[in-house]
Chains A and B, each alone.
Chain A
């Protein structure tokens, strides 16, 4: 036994190693709140969190700089979580989905600040995608399939495909063999591309962006149905926000297209500019939601 200790002691160590007593523990300091209140920019998980950071951190930084405050990009897994943050005034500005806006506007008066303009339009579509070799040509052909929804509150990814199923006098639960939530559009696209799901309905803007970034996706998926146009996912602010604050934020957004830095960021996001839009552009979406009896 003594020999073992002797042998154990001859484990070579060329230089003295630092020593840490792991049992000597302290309570961690609470994460300090910064003196200056940061500009809390919430982005609903239209695309994956990593994708959101890639796409929106520059925009958040830009807006914060314009307002002279540090930026804080806030993400949550679901649209509902973002909506509740907006309802409680926990965020200053949020990029939400059409479905979340329709729901939030109705529930707690979420306020429309601006909307992106792409090719002079303020609309987007819900596009039904399947694998390239899938013979399905419409939602009807996807009976008994595995379907990937994006977010429970997503208009293009959940509400509209549920509406299509409803038109077939079915519910998603009975119509599909199985369905699941991916909580972002790019993951739903991937789920179809990888064969995890037979079909999915996605945001046309996200799909266009994904196809542009990953052209090889065209070899894997195809669009078999495009919805009528709906109001584009808007930029919103919490209810009861001061008019001044709201005006500052709106101004910063709207004037982005008039300076090179703003233009570059907009170009990266695939947006021409931010414009003020009328709440009425979301009426068609509202009609679909109400025909489903609201967002579950």
Chain B
């Protein structure tokens, strides 16, 4: 069981707040993240737009209110001149009250004469808010005034305009912001409501989007678990031709590759078993042969030598004894010869002493004696790779040539060994009738082929076999 190693971004060399933020953001599901993004964006956009519109509306409304107020107050000043000069209080009152009635934002209007006395006002019978008299009084009668104040009826713009250049007094009027503020608040409310609706739609869209995004991923996770449990028959669904679809495809390809590689491993395992069995058998066979050789050859010779020595001891004749000794020396020489041959067959010492080239040349000589119908071309570059490689190369060439001689019915075998850069290459070709490499590898008969491949892989090299009815070529590549 392997330990899952989580690597997280922002863990090293990041400010603490970023780590904390990531811990917070990274700790929630993708669904929550997308929902959060949608909500935050919608809220920011909605609030931003609302604030902006509100600010612009307020500015525009107030400026429009002021300009309207200025125009109304100057119009009132012009129109109230005559009623004031003619002392027509009722006409003045009528003018003021009609003006106030026809302008929704007008709270009040009143006229003060040069002595500061109120000539007419629109506050009705209940009296007059005398606080207004001290407020916004123009410093000179000719001057127009504009003053902003808070009142119990909201913010009020008090505008003053001199009548008849101030000679007939001053007209004052109050414009309330409350109606405009109401409009601004109403628009703000509507915009916030719209933001809310858009936010809700955004949440639904985000849920749908998240489902679309996470569903294939969750299914992939499920598939992974199934594969982890060993079920290689499952496949991830290709939902759409997008990145997730590409991921599913890659995932499926991975499952196929994994399946193939597992099959290859299983086949290899079987072949390895066969090799091991063969190896053990071969070892036993070899022991049997050595035992037989020792018993039948060296044993017999030594027995006859012992018998000969016993006979020699009983001889009195010097000449006969000499002849017997000479005979025994011959026999001992033969025995020695037998022991040497046995030893060479077990392990060609020439490989250790003289190197791969000499060993192979010797092998080819013996091979030619064994298979006189096959002509062998050996081309071997002068080089001494490491003993391990030399042994492996020797055995592989030996196996390839033996296989060719035994199974292919070849007339010619050529073996070329060369060194190229940091690799050692060997090509063994024959002109036999060839065989099906794949079938041979799977059938289990080809322990030799498997052995060659194992030796090559053991050295980090590669063995390829190409075969057709015209012959077989074994390519070997081993890094130095």
Q: Contact check, B86 vs A75: say whether CB atoms are below 8 A apart.
A: yes
Say which size band chain B's interface belongs to.
35 or more
Residues in chain B near residue A50, CB distance under 8 A: 81-82, 85, 164
* A27 to B147 CA separation, bound complex (whole angstroms): 24
Query: Within 8 Å of chain A (Cβ to Cβ): is B117?
Result: yes
Query: Within 8 Å of chain A (Cβ to Cβ): is B210?
Result: no
> Who on chain A is nearest to B132 by CB?
A20
Query: Within 8 Å of chain A (Cβ to Cβ): is B282?
Result: no
* A28 to B131 CA separation, bound complex (whole angstroms): 12
Q: Contact check, B192 vs A18: say whether CB atoms are below 8 A apart.
A: no
* A175 to B108 CA separation, bound complex (whole angstroms): 47
> Who on chain B is nearest to A5 by CB?
B185
| Interchain nearest-CB distance for B390 vs A (Å) | 88
Residues in chain B near residue A76, CB distance under 8 A: 86-87
Q: Contact check, B54 vs A7: say whether CB atoms are below 8 A apart.
A: yes
Task: State whether A77 and B86 are in contact (beta carbons under 8 Å apart), knowing that A28-B127, A50-B81 are contacts in the complex.
Answer: yes
> Who on chain B is nearest to A81 by CB?
B86
> Who on chain B is nearest to A57 by CB?
B167
| Interchain nearest-CB distance for B178 vs A (Å) | 11
* A44 to B174 CA separation, bound complex (whole angstroms): 35
Residues in chain A near residue B156, CB distance under 8 A: 20, 22
* A18 to B148 CA separation, bound complex (whole angstroms): 8
Q: Contact check, A49 vs B86: say whether CB atoms are below 8 A apart.
A: yes
* A288 to B153 CA separation, bound complex (whole angstroms): 62
> Who on chain B is nearest to A43 by CB?
B85
> Who on chain B is nearest to A45 by CB?
B86
* A23 to B149 CA separation, bound complex (whole angstroms): 15
| Interchain nearest-CB distance for B480 vs A (Å) | 79
Main secondary structure of the interface of B (DSSP, over half): mixed
* A111 to B151 CA separation, bound complex (whole angstroms): 56
Q: Contact check, A11 vs B58: say whether CB atoms are below 8 A apart.
A: yes
Contact code string B118-137 (vs A, CB < 8 Å = 1, else 0): 10010100111111100100
Q: Contact check, B129 vs A22: say whether CB atoms are below 8 A apart.
A: yes
Which of B51, B126, B130, B135 contacts A7 (CB under 8 A)? Answer: B51
Q: Contact check, A49 vs B82: say whether CB atoms are below 8 A apart.
A: yes
Contact code string B381-407 (vs A, CB < 8 Å = 1, else 0): 000000000000000000000000000
23 A–B contacts from the bound complex (CB under 8 Å): A1-B189, A7-B50, A8-B188, A18-B135, A19-B149, A20-B129, A20-B135, A20-B150, A21-B129, A21-B131, A21-B151, A22-B151, A22-B152, A22-B153, A22-B174, A24-B131, A25-B128, A26-B128, A26-B130, A28-B118, A45-B86, A76-B87, A77-B86
Known contacts A45-B86, A49-B86, A50-B81, then 17 further A-B pairs from the complex at CB < 8 Å, ordered by chain A residue: A3-B192, A4-B185, A7-B54, A17-B148, A20-B132, A20-B135, A20-B156, A21-B129, A21-B151, A22-B107, A22-B132, A25-B127, A25-B128, A27-B128, A28-B127, A75-B86, A77-B88
Residues of B within 8 A of A (CB): 50-51, 54, 58, 81-82, 85-88, 107-108, 117-118, 121, 123, 126-132, 135, 147-153, 155-156, 164, 167-168, 174, 181, 185, 188-189, 192
